[in-house]
Structure 1
């Protein structure tokens, strides 16, 4: 279990759920981690979206990478990075903020505060699922814009233009397209994301006690990201497909798309883009958690 989530600082030990300093610390560290995560993982996320939405044209990681580079240039790998970074900042401020608030609201038994004690694995997984439902509501508009921007092939179009087209086509409700898909994906992902991070941090601290703290954060965050995405992938593929369209409903498009993909492509079709997703998950989430943990230390040092 990470030191920041078990002992943190003396101020956090007695902080209330709505303590202003604790909330500011969560938001600051999550924002720093989000920037690190976004620009580390965006190229592989773009490859994943192309493979999920058009598997006939983009069947593999290498061919997709080559096609994007040859036809659209290097900058295309970072398509949608600005709304992604903004969305990630809001998402992770919500995710880490809610997760930390839940820990303050439902603290571990005092006897479990010892870093050498086995973690209570039930709570972090359950809190992660609750966190995912909350963060999905914050992430949804930027996720819809990002997906539509990444889906555009052969056209240099900005995220602002995509948003304008969405509103013109379906009004402001289009910003919340695929809400049910977002909830399904994020609840499953965050349950294993936060729960897995706690488990990996504790395991490395227990079995590799000589490992530097920062390296533990980095590796545990990377594995937690891969762990979460491996479980959430079947929910992510239909989510990406419905949010890439302009006729997607707020609720109701997700399950028909899931069954359609499973029927037409087989169960393996629900794992389209798994390779680049897992390849992206390690460095992106390693950078995220390292940024978050270092952001907490920086915040405590400055304030």
Structure 2
């Protein structure tokens, strides 16, 4: 394969595998994400995981756990095509080599994958933003049969086109932090398993490393996510400038613990959803090599 950063086969392979992983990630993780959003936006009513789950089941039905799944899946495909595509391109542009230009043996750099992840997060935030806003507004609605298209109509009526970009600063803060830990943690975890558990099958390594990386990234990014969710779920916020006042407000009213509202379902979701994501991505690459575009 050519070493070109934008070599057509490599780029197509990245996008194909990211799309497969995204759909798996969405439908595995959406129920937990719905609970998280309820807990973040209405902590008085939804205070813990079990009670929140029961309330949603009782008041809105089972289907409510997948509210906003369609725009979320679409957004995840765009987000992860951007994220995995940009991250893979950065790896091709800045390979981990020694002074002679050969691939370096041993543990991965402790800086490079984390820095590349932060850059990736800033890029992915730009494509994820509209679907994330629609998802948040759909999930906090208590109407049983409300659809994402109805939410979009409400958004256009109340704020116009700018409603699709509110909280852009919030999205940048969360995603740059999240993806730094996400991709950096995945690379480190994969290397650790290969080194200390050499008999582990590759598929299990991808699954475990993806789950671990997802949990670590969400734990660190969670304080940035709570005010982001609040900003994007309302109809009175700005494209830029509402995020930091909201972060301060949440910290003052709820304490530092308030910035971790919804952490339980988020971490529960993070392992299976991101394990499915990375397993889907890595499996998608193998499928692409065998059945789609052979070298």
TM tier relative to shorter chain: over 0.9
Deviation at 1:291, TM superposition (A): 0.1
Alpha-carbon shift at residue 113 of structure 1 (Å):
2.9
With normalisation by structure 1, the TM-score equals 0.94
Contact 1:38-1:84 within 8 A present in 2 as well: yes
- 1:112: Cα distance to partner? 6.7
Residue 79 (structure 2) aligns with: 91
Q: SS of 2:90's equivalent?
A: helix
Whole-Å Cα distance in 1 between the matches of residues 149 and 8 of structure 2?
34
- Does the CA-based 8 Å contact 2:32-2:266 persist in structure 1? yes
Question: For 2:62, which of 53, 61, 74 is the aligned residue?
Answer: 74
In structure 2, what is the equivalent of residue 39 of structure 1? 27
Residue of structure 1 in register with 2:42 after alignment:
54
1:278 corresponding residue in structure 2: 267
Q: Could you tell me which residue of structure 2 aligns to residue 18 of structure 1?
A: 6
Per-residue CA distance 1:216-253 (angstroms, 9 max, x = gap): 00000000000100000000000000000011100000
1:127 equivalent in alignment to 2:116: yes
Cα RMSD, aligned residues only: 1.0
Paired residue total: 290
Aligned equivalents of 1:15 and 1:75: distance in 2? Answer: 46
**TM-score, scaled relative to structure 2:** 0.97
Structure 1 unaligned runs (5+)?
1-10
1:30 aligns with 2:22: no
Task: Write the distance in 1 (CA, Å) between the matches of 2:14 and 2:157.
Answer: 37
- Superposition pairs for residues 238-253 of structure 1, below 5 Å? 238-253=227-242
2:103 counterpart residue number: 113
- CA deviation digits over 1:115-160, x for unaligned, max 9? x511112100000000000000000000000000001014421000
Among 150, 173, 187, the residue aligned to 1:184? 173
Q: What's the counterpart of residue 200 of structure 1?
A: 189
| Partners of 1:161 and 1:154 in 2: CA distance | 11
Cα distance per residue 1:9-50 (max 9 Å; x no partner): xx2xx3311111111101100000000000000000000000
Q: Distance in 1 between matches of 2:6 and 2:183?
A: 21
